[in-house]
């Protein structure tokens, strides 16, 4: 799941730094904008069957690859 999610993030961000530095702040570094964030939620639902409503989490809870992985992992349990 981790590797697949990192691949999705790499595609959305257009940068492999998400794999090299999974603690990078995707929003602060302008790697992920609001449209990409919405697409990420769709990709998570399609690939993992996990629905994350935008109102359910704050951007700060999903601003790094590691935090996104943690949220998806919790929702899969």
Report the number of distinct structural domains present in the chain: 1
Q: How far is CA 70 from CA 33, 41, 59, in A?
A: 20, 14, 14
Host domain of residue 48: 1-76
pLDDT at 21: 98
Q: What is the CATH number of the domain that holds 66?
A: 1.10.1200.10
pLDDT at 66: 98
What residue ranges of the chain have pLDDT lower than 50?
Answer: none
């Amino acid at each position: 799941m981790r590797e697949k999610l990192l691949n999705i993030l790499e595609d959305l961000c257009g940068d492999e730094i998400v794999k090299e530095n999974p603690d990078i702040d995707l929003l602060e570094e302008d790697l992920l904008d609001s449209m990409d964030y919405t697409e990420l939620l769709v990709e998570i639902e399609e690939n993992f069957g996990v629905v994350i409503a935008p109102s359910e989490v704050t951007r700060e809870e999903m601003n790094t690859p590691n935090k996104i992985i943690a949220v998806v992992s919790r929702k899969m349990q």
